[in-house]
């Protein structure tokens, strides 16, 4: 199925839970734990109403955060004291110079990207990162045991237009050129078992990180 930009914006606007998800703060706290030393410039892809930016700023002093979202209504709510710049658009084509960021975070975003645009999105993040910069993304885990037992799918949410197994995400990041790729658990289960439990199917989401090196 093909998705035009207007359809994607409306699908994402309709996912109202993204603005109230109780795990959002913890997700960004998990991101911060994976930041390289001396991180300053951060691109927050899918920044929504800005809760994540506020968390990152509270944890790391001196950050300069840029927010990107395809839903203009959300960008209008961002705190300008947190976000130095905002961009309305999609992550496969960002009107910024290359080598602009130390870190790019994308919390529960890649599943909102149509399959044909996943590689271009990962390539664009690679272009935007500085040497030694890091991409950090989380996405729902298609192998999540609870969903399998309940016959649920990542794709039941209308705004989820692609899904990514751990194995396929690692391969995609390797294909683009990321190195030092690491994948750990994410989602609410990290409250109970941390992010390194050996059975990945216990996690509703996972965090993938890769370095431009």
* Alpha carbon distance 141, 166 (integer Å): 7
> Predicted confidence band at 17 (pLDDT cuts at 50, 70, 90)?
confident
pTM to 2 decimals?
0.97
Could you tell me which of 206, 127, 194 has the C-alpha nearest to residue 168? 206
For Cα atoms 186, 189, 192, give the angle at the middle one, nearest 5 degrees.
125
Tell whether the model's pLDDT for residue 1 goes beyond 80: no
Tell me if 48 sits within 8 A of 70, measured CB to CB.
Answer: no
Tell me the mean pLDDT in the region 105-130.
98
Measure the CA–CA gap between 196 and 124, rounded to whole angstroms.
29
* Whole-number Å distance between alpha carbons of 131 and 71: 30
Under the banding of pLDDT at 50, 70 and 90, the label for residue 9 is very high
Read off the DSSP letter of residue 137: E
The pLDDT, as a whole number, for residue 19 is: 82
Q: Residue 16: what pLDDT?
A: 85
Greatest CA separation for the chain: 46
Edge-to-edge, what's the strand order for the sheet holding 64-69? 83-88, 64-69, 41-45, 101-107, 129-140, 205-211, 179-186
Q: Where are the beta strands (DSSP E) in 30-75?
A: 41-45, 64-69
- Determine the average pLDDT of the residues in 175-204: 98
Taking 3-state DSSP, the helix, strand and coil percentages for the chain, each rounded to the nearest 5, stand at: 40, 25, 40
75-115 pLDDT, tens digit per residue, is 999 999 999 999 999 999 999 999 999 999 999 999 999 99
């Amino acid at each position: 199925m093909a998705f035009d930009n207007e359809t994607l914006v409306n699908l994402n606007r309709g996912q109202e839970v993204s603005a109230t998800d109780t795990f959002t703060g913890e997700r960004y706290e998990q991101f911060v734990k994976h930041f390289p030393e001396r991180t300053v410039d951060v691109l927050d892809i899918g920044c929504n109403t800005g809760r994540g930016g506020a968390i990152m700023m509270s944890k790391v002093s001196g950050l300069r955060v840029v927010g990107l979202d395809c839903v203009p209504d959300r960008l209008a709510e961002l705190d300008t004291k947190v976000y130095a710049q905002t961009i309305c658009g999609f992550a496969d084509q960002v009107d910024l110079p290359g080598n602009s960021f130390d870190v790019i975070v994308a919390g529960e975003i890649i599943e909102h990207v149509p399959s044909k645009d996943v590689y271009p999105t990962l390539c664009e993040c690679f272009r935007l990162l500085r040497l030694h910069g890091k991409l950090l993304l989380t996405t729902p885990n298609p192998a999540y045991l609870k969903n399998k037992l309940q016959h649920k799918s990542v794709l039941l949410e209308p705004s989820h237009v692609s899904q990514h197994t751990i194995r396929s995400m690692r391969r995609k990041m390797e294909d683009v050129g990321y190195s030092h790729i690491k994948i750990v658990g994410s989602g609410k289960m990290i409250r109970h078992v941390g992010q390194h439990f050996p059975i990945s199917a216990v996690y509703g989401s996972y965090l993938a990180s890769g370095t431009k090196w």
